[in-house]
Chain A
Amino acid sequence: MSHTLPPLLLGLFRELKANGVPVGTRDYLDGVEALRLGFGQGDRAALRELASALWGRSDEERRLIARWFDVLPPPDEVLIAAIDDELDARDADTDAAAAPAAATVRPTAPTLAGSGAVPGGAPVETVDTSAAQAARARVSFAATREGSGLPIPRLASAPPIGEDYVLDPQPLISPRDMAVLWRRYRRSTRHGPRTEMDLAATLRERCRRGQLCRPVCRPRRSNSARLLILADASPSMDPWRPFLATLAASLPLGRLARAELRYFNNQPRRQLYATPDLDEPEDRDTVLRRHAGAALLVVSDAGSARGALNRRRALQTADFLDDARRLFPSTVWLNPMPARRWAGTTAGLIADGPVPMLPVDASHLLRAIDILRGTK
C-alpha cells in the first residue's frame, strides 16, 4: 500500500498550501486513504471531484481546485495507448493462466462501482477491469513531472473569462472571528431580576429550615462589559472601510452589555457621527459621558496613511486622549497601517503617548481585547 499521494494530487495539495488553505496532515492522509479505497479512480473528473470533496471547504477553495485541473496538460495519448496494449496483452496471459485456477482471486482495491458487488462467477474479469482502471488513473497522474510534484509552468494557458474573475473579498478579519474576539471581552456579573434558581442556596435553605417554602433565586449571569468604538471615517481610511463595516456588523453578535460605534473625521473634534458618511452628528462630550466607565477603542490611521507629520493634530489628539482617559479606564488605539509606517508621522507621536497603539492583525487584535479587559 502506498503512503504517499500521487504527484498530481501532491502538486494540488502543495498549491492549496501555498495559497494559504489550511489543509493538514489529516487531509493528506484522507487523500491517501480515499485513493486506497478506490475513490477518484477512473479519470481526471473523478479525481477532481474527490479533491474537491476532500479539501475544498469554500467556493474560493473549490475554484482553486477546479483551476488546477483546468490548466493541467492532458495525459499523453500515445502513452495511454501503449499501456492499454500492454494491459490487454497481460489480460490475455492472465486469462490463459487463470483458467485452471479460477477460484484464486488477487487482492485488489475495490473500485467504487465494483465494491461489494463482485459476482462470484467471474472474479478474474472484475479484478482485471479494476486493474486496468487503476492503470489509467496512474497515467493521468503521470502527466505531471514525477518527483517534484510541482505544476508544469503554464504561461500559455490563460484561464477563460469566467469563474476565475469572480473576486472574493479578502477581509482583514471576518465578522465571525471579530464576534468571537468580542466574546473574549467580557465581565461576567449577576445583575437584574432574580430569574435563575440557585440550586446550592436552595438546598442550603432546605437543610437549615428542614423544609422548603420556595426556591431561592438569583439574577442570571450576564456580560456587563461596555464598549465605545470611535472610528475614523476620513478619506485616508477608505481602504479599511470593509474593516469598519466588519466592526459594525460584529458588535451586535458580541453580547456586550452596551456597545456603540461612532465615527469622526481625522480626529475626534466637537462632534461624533452615527454613520460612516458622517451623518447624524452628536456632541462629543455627551457621547463620552454616556459611556463613562466603559472601554474605549479608537480606530484610525492617525495621519500615517498620508505619511505627514502634523504637530497640531498630534497635540489635539493627545489632549482628547487625556480627557478620555479620565472617563474610560482602558483605552486602545488600533491603527490599520503597518507599524513601520508610523515613524515620523502624527501616528508616531500618538503611539509614544500613554495610550497603546496597535496594528490590525490577529495577534494584536487579541492583545487589544486583553488591554480592554484590563489585563495589560
Chain B
Amino acid sequence: MPDTARYAEFTGTRSARYVAAPHTATIVNLAIRLGRPLLVEGEAGCGKTRLASAIAEELGIGLTAMTVKSTSQAKDLLYRFDALRRLQDAQDPANSAARQVHPYIDLEPLGHAIRQGQPRVVLIDEVDKADIDFPNDLLDVLDRFEFDIEDLPRAEDEACTAARGFGRHVTGPEGGARPIVLITSNREKQLPEPFLRRCLYVQLDFPADNPAMLADIVRRNLDARLDQIGDELITGAVERLCRIRERGRELGMQKLPATSELVDWVRVLHWQGRKAEAVSVDALDTVDQAVLFKVRQDIERYRARTDDEARR
C-alpha cells in the first residue's frame, strides 16, 4: 500500500472558498488513503476543478494543475525535449553542450511532482478533451508513479543524473509521498475501461436539496465584504435559482445554471442594488438571462415558456 499516512483528513469545509458535500469528502479521503487517482465528473460549473485547490488548501500542500488540450500527449505532462534549441546551439562549434541531449530536456509539472515525491495535489483537468489514446498512455504512470524519458539516450543516463538530478528512469525519492491525483472529465468522450477501473469516481452534483450549503458557498465566494450583502439577498437568490433549475430541467436545457452562475448572479444583483424579492422567476430580465444561461437555445426556450405563461 502506498505511503499516504502523511496526508491529514479532508473535511471539505475548511477551505476559504469551497464547501464539499460530506460524501464527496469521504470519497476524497478514500482515494487519498488507497492511493488511487480520483476521477471527478459533474455538471459544468459545479466546482470540479476547484475541488483540487480546496484539497490543497485544506491539507496545506502544493497544487500542480495541468489543463489537457486536444493536442496533448501523455508525454507532454511528464517532460519536454527542446530539439530546436539544441539545433540552434549546434550551429556554434564551440558549444559543447549541444553534443548531448540532456541539457535540452526539462521536466513538466507531472514529471516534477513524481520526482520530488512531496505531498501535493496533482490536477489533470478535462482529460476527455485529449485524443482517445491519452488516458491509456497515462495509465502506467499514474499506477506506479515512475516513467522513462525516451528521448534521452541510455548512454547519457549517468551524465544526466549528475547534471540534472534525474536519469532516464524518473522515480520519486526513497520514502517519498505519492501525490494525490485528481482527474476531471466533462464526459465529452468516453474514457477507456481500464482507465476507469484504476480510478475512484466521484460525481459532483448541484446541491439543490441543501440551500444552506449553497448559501454558504455563495458567502465564501463573494469578493465584497459580507456585511454589505444581506443574507436575504443570498437566500432569496438561492431559492430562485433552484426554481429556475427545476424549470430548466423540465424544458430540457443543455446547460443548467450551477454554482458558479449562482455566485455571479448574487454579485450582479448586489452591484445593481436589487433585492431578491424583486426578481421574478417568470420574468428574468436580459442581464439575469445573460448571467444564468450559456446556450442561446436555452435562453430562447426559457423566454418562450415564460411568455406562454404570461399570456395565460
Q: A-side interface residues toward B, CB under 8 Å? A: 22-24, 27, 30, 33-34, 37, 39, 49-50, 53-54, 56-58, 112, 115-117, 174-176, 179-180, 183, 197, 199, 202-203, 206, 211-212, 215, 253
Contacts and interface: CB of A to CB of B under 8 A. Distances in A.
B190 A57 contact: no
B26 A215 contact: no
Q: How large is the interface on B (under 10, 10 to 19, 20 to 34, 35 or more residues)?
A: 20 to 34
B192 A57 contact: no
B283 interface: no
A115 B1 CA distance: 18
Contacts of A215: 87
B61 interface: no
Nearest to A113: B9
B9 A199 contact: no
B190 A176 contact: yes
A116 B9 contact: yes
A22 B27 contact: no
B8 A116 contact: yes
B193 A37 contact: no
B30 A53 contact: yes
A57 B201 contact: yes
A176 B29 CA distance: 31
Interface string B29-71: 1100110100000000000000000000000000000000000
A206 B196 CA distance: 48
Nearest to B195: A57
B30 A54 contact: yes
A37 B7 CA distance: 14
A34 B87 contact: no
A30 B190 contact: no
A210 to B, nearest CB: 9
A115 B9 CA distance: 8
Contacts of B23: 49
B132 interface: yes
Given A37-B33, A39-B30, 19 more contacts: A24-B197, A33-B34, A34-B30, A34-B33, A39-B26, A49-B23, A112-B9, A112-B26, A175-B190, A176-B132, A176-B189, A176-B190, A180-B132, A183-B132, A197-B83, A199-B87, A202-B87, A215-B87, A253-B132
Contacts of A27: 197
Given A56-B201, A57-B197, A212 B91 contact: yes
B130 to A, nearest CB: 13
A53 B1 contact: no
Per CB-CB distance, the 5 closest pairs between chain A and chain B, nearest first, are: A176-B190, A57-B196, A53-B27, A37-B33, A30-B34
Interface in B259-296: none
Contacts of A211: 91
Contact of B192 (A24, A34, A49, A176): A176
Contact of B26 (A33, A49, A116, A202): A49
A24 B34 CA distance: 15
B238 interface: no
Interface of B: 1, 8-9, 23, 26-27, 29-30, 33-34, 36, 83-84, 87, 90-91, 132-133, 189-190, 192-193, 196-197, 200-202
A117 B9 CA distance: 10
Given A174-B190, A176-B189, A50 B196 contact: no
A53 to B, nearest CB: 4
Contacts of A112: 9, 26, 29
Nearest to A207: B90
A179 B197 CA distance: 20
A211 B90 CA distance: 10
Contacts of A34: 30, 33-34
A34 B190 CA distance: 28
Contact of B200 (A37, A54, A116, A174): A54
Nearest to A59: B203
A44 B181 CA distance: 28
Nearest to B98: A203
B273 to A, nearest CB: 44
Contacts of A179: 132
28 contacts: A22-B197, A23-B197, A24-B197, A27-B197, A33-B1, A33-B33, A34-B30, A34-B33, A39-B30, A39-B33, A53-B26, A54-B30, A56-B201, A57-B196, A58-B196, A112-B9, A112-B29, A115-B9, A174-B190, A175-B190, A176-B190, A179-B132, A202-B87, A203-B90, A206-B91, A212-B91, A215-B87, A253-B132
A57 to B, nearest CB: 4
A34 B202 CA distance: 16
Given A30-B34, A212-B91, A53 B201 contact: yes
Given A49-B26, A54-B30, A215-B87, A30 B36 contact: yes
Nearest to A30: B34
Contacts of B34: 30, 33-34
A142 to B, nearest CB: 24
A293 to B, nearest CB: 27
A37 B83 CA distance: 48
Contacts of B36: 30
B200 A53 contact: yes
A208 to B, nearest CB: 14
B82 to A, nearest CB: 12
A300 B274 CA distance: 65
Contacts of B83: 197, 199
A266 B200 CA distance: 47
